[in-house]
Structure formats: C-alpha cells, structure tokens
Structure 1
Amino acid sequence: MPIETQWNDWPLVAVHARDESPHDTREAIIAMLRVAVQSEQAFSAVVDMSQLRPEEPARGDVRVAEQARAVKELRPALARNCRGLAFVVPPAVPGGTEARNASERFWGCPVATVHDAEVATDWVRERLALQQEGSL
C-alpha cells in the first residue's frame, strides 16, 4: 500500500505509511512538510508509522544525511508554521515525552511520539486550538 497523505482536514494533515520502508516514509514526510509550509499558515500533522517495515541496517547511508539536511532547511518555516507533529509508532518503540526535547530541536516545532492515532490526532488538534486562541 502506498504512503497516503490526506489534506482534506486542513490545517491538520495526516500521513499514513503501511508496510513501507522507513526511508520512503521519511521522504513522504519531508514532501508533505514542504507543501504545508508553502501555505505560510499554521498547521499540524499526524504521521502514522505504526505499521512500517523494519529499518534495514545501513551504515553511512547518504539518503539519511540528505533527509536530515532537508529537515534542517525546513526548520525555520516549521518553527513559524507547524503547531505540532505527532508520530504514531509501534508499541515496541518508546513513546511519550522522553525524547521530546531532542525531537523538537531536530524538527523545529512541538513533537509528540505516541502509540495511538486517536491520541496523536487529539494532541495536534489541541495544539491548533491553542494557536487559534493566541496561547502559542
């Protein structure tokens, strides 16, 4: 099943990756973020990675470095426009706030890593509501 990006609930964007490689999923996330920041409007996104194929061990993979550079280039626009990125991960992957500070520095916006898509959607909607109220 291909990676599906849903824009019909803007300013909330959803990316669903099922049985995809982590590399292809990262590419889809970066593509979605590029389009979203071009709007110059506040947005949030839920990225459901709960059914990804396992990462293949790859040392010195140039593609991962290129993806990190792409995020670095997007970071200023994400800081201005992204109200939250919620990643839904499999239960075997730690979720919660433990790595939130590092993730927020990497992405440039608030990040949540959770195990439940409904929790992720609620969190990003809350972030958008806070922004609309002027609390952010």
Structure 2
Amino acid sequence: MPDLRASTASCLRCGRNLTSPESIQRGYGRQCRTLMSLATTKPTPEGFSATQMDKAWEAIEQGAIVRTSRFEMFTAVSTDGTTHYLIRPGSCTCPAGQRGHLCYHRLAVHIITATVGRKVVAS
C-alpha cells in the first residue's frame, strides 16, 4: 500500500501544518491523535465489530483515510493500493458499502470526525 503521507506535511484530520518529525510520520498532530484516541474510549458504535475497529485504526495509522476538499467527504485507499473509495456520512463506495453493509472505512471516518470542534484540555 502506498504511503499517502509522504507528500504532505498537513494533519490528515484538521489540515494544519505539521512540524514535528513524529507527527509528519504519523500524519496527525499530537492534539488530533489525542482526540481520536478519546473517540475510541467510548464503546464501539452500534453495528461495528471489534475487528472492524482494529481495521479502522490500521487504515487511519497507515494514512489510508484522507479528507477531501468537499465537506464531510473522505477517500479510502484499498488494501492493494489500486482503488479509491469515497466515504460520506452513511455511505461508502467500497464493495461492502455498495451491498449496504457497515464497513470499517465508515468507522475510520467516524473516529476521525467524532471529535471535530473539540480541543484537548490540559490536565
């Protein structure tokens, strides 16, 4: 699978410029990564399995879920890196999504967007 983060230094969640080498390598800034982690402390959303949660996190960590310039639209890269799927709230163009099933791409987008507008509060 190609690494989509190699050509960007912007956070894949919020779009801000990344400056630390660790954040650039991960594709997410420290605060966005923390917020996404907070989203997973809640129970897995209804209808999704623990396996789908693992696959969603793997896709996020590999940079396979990317925000597009269109509001609430993301793309996902297939496992073999040859196909792109469009993900919107409630739908995905992957084979499972086209059959009406809940796919891990939608769960990954849920994790990324679950905390939009929230900021990390220092404890």
TM-score by length of 2: 0.31
TM-score by length of 1: 0.29
